[in-house]
Every structure is written in C-alpha cells, then in structure tokens.
Amino acid sequence: MISVNNIYKSFNGKQVLKDISVTFERGKTNLVIGQSGSGKTVLLKCIVGLFEPDSGEVKYEDVIFNKLNSREKREIRKKIGMLFQGGALFDSATVEENILFPLNMFTEIPLEEKLERVNVCLNRVNIINANHLYPSELSGGMKKRVAIARAIALKPQYLFCDEPNSGLDPKSSILIDNLIKEITEEYDITTIINTHDMNSVMEIGQKVVFIFEGTKAWEGSNQDILESDNKILNDFVFATNLTKKLKLK
C-alpha cells in the first residue's frame, strides 16, 4: 500500500498539486487520470522521489518515504519497478542485457541466477527466443512486454507505469493492460498507472483517481464512473471518448 497525505507541490510560484490525499491499494490496478497539465505526472514523480513535495507525506506502508535519507530511500527503491512511457529500453543493449540492468545495479547474486531470473520474467510476459535481439528488432508491443519484464526483475512490491499504452495499437494496448493487471494480482503488487486512455480505465481501473487542476476531483472504481454525477469527471470522460470517435472517422 502507498498513501499520500496532504501533498502540495509548486514550481516557480505556480501551485501544481494542492492538498492531495489518496491511498493506493495493494493487489489492485490504481489508475491516475486527468488531462495534460493536470498534475498527474508531478504526483507520480513525488511518489517515487523524483520530486520532493513542498509539504505533506508520501508513505510506503507505514514508512514516510519523503522523510528518509538517501541510503534509506535506496532500500525502498529496490522494491520499485518502473514502466516508462515508450518502454525506455536501452537501444544498444539486447533484451537480455536490458532485463539484467536492474539485477546488476541492485543485487550481487551470481550471473547464473540473474540469467535464470531474466528467463523467468521473459516467460511471464510470453516472450521466448528473444534474449539476444535488440529493441530495434522488436514490435511496439514486444518492447512494452520486455519493459514489463525488466520492471518485475527485482520482484517489486510496487509498480509504477507512465502511459503504458502510448504508441500502441488497440489490440496491443489490451494485451498490455491485461498483463499489468494479471501481474499485479498474481504478485500482490501495489500498481499505480498514469493514463489518459479511457479504454484502459474501463478495462482495468479497479481504483481510479481523477486529478483536475492539481486537486483530487474524484475517486472510485471504473464501474463507479458510469454512475458518477461529477460534472468535471463526466466532461473529461465524454470529451476523451468523443475525440477518439472523431479520429476514427
């Protein structure tokens, strides 16, 4: 479980996050949605420690993360997996070398055990015989699956995904959504996903937090969205869906 309590964050005098409090539940896919510039990416960066909140608490279980020193934060980060927008694989490294990267950085286990872990992770995301391929030789969907394999290499307790479906076709997007949800439930991970993809929200949004102009404007499940009378949320949801329909014409 991860919780943020009364988080504020500003840049150059501009308030970006205003008194946000929310609990992200273990074993569930927790989605953060909102239009561009709403503050959802800043919130994610505050949670993982890339930004320091001006005030408030970020808690991993009962530990106040933003009050820890660098060494103590490193211990928490060993328990974190990251899935970046676009996958962020190292172009000059093979699939195997990409997944080895966090294992080499944070562990001292023998190489044989590391390679065994690489193959376990690749099998989990349904990729075989690709260890020695380079990212340029992979499809967009395969790149995302390799990125997921790298994110779970350290058996994380916490998984952060930033726009995981960016650049993918609808079929691949559904595959990635379902894979993230399966891994979350299978390993009992606290997963937080930043997205503006309403298809993802309706597919896997077990808990959804809507950020509007730096504040938490709504939270609930994907099913609750269908029954919500929150005008700001409804405007966002229906505008997003309308935009997609217009693009398909």
- Which has the closest alpha carbon to 98: 47, 142, 162? 142
Q: What is the CA radius of gyration of the chain?
A: 18
Query: What's the pTM value of the predicted model, to 2 decimals?
Result: 0.88
Task: Look at residue 42 and tell me whether its pLDDT is greater than 60.
Answer: yes
Q: What is the pLDDT of residue 194?
A: 93
Strand order in the sheet with 55-60: 14-24, 2-11, 55-60, 63-64
Contact 38, 216 (CB under 8 A): no
Can you tell me the distance from the alpha carbon of 150 to that of 121, in angstroms, rounded to the nearest whole number?
Answer: 7
Task: Look at residue 111 and tell me whether its pLDDT is greater than 80.
Answer: yes
Question: What is the dihedral angle through the alpha carbons of 178, 181, 186, 187, rounded to the nearest 10 degrees?
Answer: 130
Task: Look at residue 64 and tell me whether its pLDDT is greater than 90.
Answer: yes
Q: What is the pLDDT of residue 188?
A: 95
The pLDDT tens digits of the residues spanning 160-171 come to 998 888 888 888
